Structure 1
Amino acid sequence: MTLSVSEIVGHPQFVPALRAYAAKLRGQFDQSPRLSRMLASHQRWLLSQAAFALQLEYDPSQPGSGLTTTNLREIITSNNAASRNTVLNFLDQLLSYKFVRIVGDPNRRPKRYEATELPTQAMYQWLMTNFELLDHLDGGDRAATLAAQPELFKLIQPQVARRACLNPSWLEPPPRVALFLWTEAGGLVMDELVRRAMELSPDGEGYNIGRIDARVMAEHFMISRTHLQRLFRRAVETGCLHWPDGDRNHCILRRDFLDEYCKWQAIKFSIIDFAHEKICGPVRLGKHDPRLGVAREA
């Protein structure tokens, strides 16, 4: 059985688990800041998930399969997640930073790309971190199963990406969440706010996340200080953040805003759990995928 959105968001351990999850993502950012910085918006998240799925789905017997500009554009533009030019620029940036490489004849059209070692390891670790959160909620063994059979990643990740790119509730975050997630590096900022949400304020209306130093945060996440300050101003105007009595040492992350974010994140975790069960449920039943030597759905 998979966890539903309501079961995830209603679990008493979900907020602490999400806080720990955000802290782990912060650690992963510190390991590869350029890669994390490049993918830290919801649009880039969708692009990267779809691109990776296409790469893993490559079938040599099917001409034109795999990660190509055309295939990525078909997935992304069909749900209005990005424009054709955005897709082109995304792949060009990945190539320039050597996060992908061209495979096969570089003069052949369409060009086919594949991820290099760093983003491949990062995507695997991202999935593992998501499994760890789900395991924390229900005592499951998703992370242990993936660690024991890492080849399952090749089957699970495309399931996650395909379902995430088709789910309208995940594609379109609530307006206040979108304020962060649709902006440059907004995902990094949101993770930092959630990571700090340890202590409820005395009135119970929010979490005291301490002092927010825009200069230090902007420098660490390699974003414009002006951009970050503008984001925080809009967050205050829309009721996401609050400084009681103008005390700059005690920023309050509004509880209702964190609730909105949790409900949206629960959609993604439910998608990931469904993908895990679709692939690993048959593993437990002993049905095997001849391509990988692991079980899969019959």
Structure 2
Amino acid sequence: MTLSAAEILGHPQFVPALRAYSTQLRGQFDQSPRLSRMLASHQRWLLSQAAFALQLEYDPLQPGSGLTTTNLREIITSNNAASRNTVLNFLDQLLSYKFVRIVGDPNRRPKRYEATEIPTRAMHQWLVTNLELLDQLDGGDRAATLMAQPELFRLIQPQIARRACLNPSWLEPPSRVALFLWTEAGGLVMDELVRRAMDLAPDGEGYNIGRIDARLMAENFMISRTHLQRLFRRAVETGCLYWPDGDRNHCILRRDFLDEYCGWQAIKFSIVDFAYERICGPVRLGKHDPRLGAVSGL
């Protein structure tokens, strides 16, 4: 039985769980800042999920399968998530930073890529973190199951990526959420705002997230201070943030904006839960999947 987006959003523990989730993502950023910084926009998130799925779906008996420029372009451009040139630049960047490598003869066309150790570990940890949030809502054992049988990862992640890239509500965030998520490193900024949203402001209109030091935040996230200040100005203009009585020490994250963000994130978590159940439901029932080894004991 999977959790729907509405059930996740309406759960009383979802906001605290999302806050903890954002804190965990910040910790993962600290482990690999360059990789996290590269993938911290919604467009890059879609590209990375699709790319990883293609790698995991590689079948040596099917010529042309796996992570290639052509295959990634077909997924991403079909839903207008990115242009052909963006796909090419994305793979070139991953290659230059050694987050992917070319497999086999580099002169063969199409070139096939595979992720190196750091992004592979990061993607696995991302999935565990998402499953942990779902477990907090219903007392499940999804994360423990994945950690006990890590080979499930290569079946679950492509399910998530394929469904996320086809879900229009996830592809197109609400306009105020998109203000952050479609911009450079906007996902990192949003995680930082959410993890700080601990206490309701006295007026009940939002959460006091303390002082925003644009210089320090820009330095931490390796982004332009000017870009970040512009983002915050637009966030104030569109009603995402405000400073009560001009007090710069107490920035308020508006409650209705956090609700919008939670609603959008709930869509992603419902996709993750559906993908997990589609793979692990049959495993729990003892049905054999030839892509796995023995499933006894689950």
**TM-score higher than 0.5 here?**
yes
Report Cα offsets for 1:92-143 as digits up to 9, x if no partner. 0000000000001110000000000000000000000000000000000000
Asked if structure 2 preserves the Cα contact closer than 8 Å seen for 1:5 and 1:267, the reply is: yes
**How many Å separate the matches in 2 of 1:87 and 1:123?**
19
Cross-structure match for 2:215: 215
Cross-structure match for 1:39: 39
Report Cα offsets for 1:135-181 as digits up to 9, x if no partner. 00000000000010000000000000000000000000000000000
Report Cα offsets for 1:192-246 as digits up to 9, x if no partner. 0000000001111100000000000000000000000000000000000000000
Report Cα offsets for 1:231-279 as digits up to 9, x if no partner. 0000000000000000000000000000000000000000000000000
**How many Å separate the matches in 1 of 2:173 and 2:55?**
26
SS of the residue corresponding to residue 3 of structure 2 reads: coil
SS of the residue corresponding to residue 289 of structure 1 reads: coil
5+ long unaligned stretches in structure 1: none
- 1:178-189 equivalences in 2 (<5 Å): 178-189=178-189
**How many Å separate the matches in 2 of 1:77 and 1:5?**
26
Pair 1:254–1:63, CA change in 2 (3 A): same
Q: CA deviation at 1:295?
A: 4.6
Cross-structure match for 2:12: 12
Cross-structure match for 2:229: 229
Asked if structure 2 preserves the Cα contact closer than 8 Å seen for 1:164 and 1:268, the reply is: yes
SS of the residue corresponding to residue 209 of structure 1 reads: strand
Q: Which amino acid aligns with 1:134?
A: L
SS of the residue corresponding to residue 219 of structure 2 reads: helix
Q: Which amino acid aligns with 1:274?
A: F
User: How does the TM-score come out when normalised to structure 2?
Assistant: 0.99
Q: CA deviation at 1:291?
A: 2.6
Cross-structure match for 2:267: 267
**How many Å separate the matches in 2 of 1:287 and 1:218?**
50
Greater than 4 Å deviation, 4+ residue runs: none
**How many Å separate the matches in 2 of 1:138 and 1:220?**
35
Q: CA deviation at 1:292?
A: 2.0
Asked if structure 2 preserves the Cα contact closer than 8 Å seen for 1:176 and 1:257, the reply is: yes
**How many Å separate the matches in 1 of 2:6 and 2:288?**
32
Cross-structure match for 2:125: 125
Asked if structure 2 preserves the Cα contact closer than 8 Å seen for 1:103 and 1:112, the reply is: yes
Cross-structure match for 1:108: 108
User: How does the TM-score come out when normalised to structure 1?
Assistant: 0.99
**How many Å separate the matches in 1 of 2:180 and 2:167?**
20
Cross-structure match for 2:281: 281
Cross-structure match for 2:292: 292
Cross-structure match for 1:52: 52
Asked if structure 2 preserves the Cα contact closer than 8 Å seen for 1:283 and 1:294, the reply is: no
Cross-structure match for 1:149: 149
Q: CA deviation at 1:7?
A: 0.4
RMSD: 0.9
**How many Å separate the matches in 2 of 1:182 and 1:262?**
17
Cross-structure match for 2:98: 98
**How many Å separate the matches in 2 of 1:115 and 1:289?**
24
Cross-structure match for 2:88: 88
Q: CA deviation at 1:288?
A: 1.4
**How many Å separate the matches in 2 of 1:207 and 1:79?**
35
Asked if structure 2 preserves the Cα contact closer than 8 Å seen for 1:29 and 1:36, the reply is: yes
Q: Which amino acid aligns with 2:198?
A: M
**How many Å separate the matches in 1 of 2:281 and 2:32?**
33
Q: CA deviation at 1:31?
A: 0.3
Cross-structure match for 1:24: 24
Q: CA deviation at 1:289?
A: 1.7
SS of the residue corresponding to residue 266 of structure 2 reads: helix
Q: How many pairs align?
A: 296
**How many Å separate the matches in 1 of 2:294 and 2:108?**
34
Q: Once the two structures are aligned, what percentage of the paired residues are identical? A: 90
5+ long unaligned stretches in structure 2: none
**How many Å separate the matches in 2 of 1:136 and 1:294?**
28
**How many Å separate the matches in 1 of 2:192 and 2:101?**
32
Residue 253 (str. 1) matches residue 253 (str. 2): yes
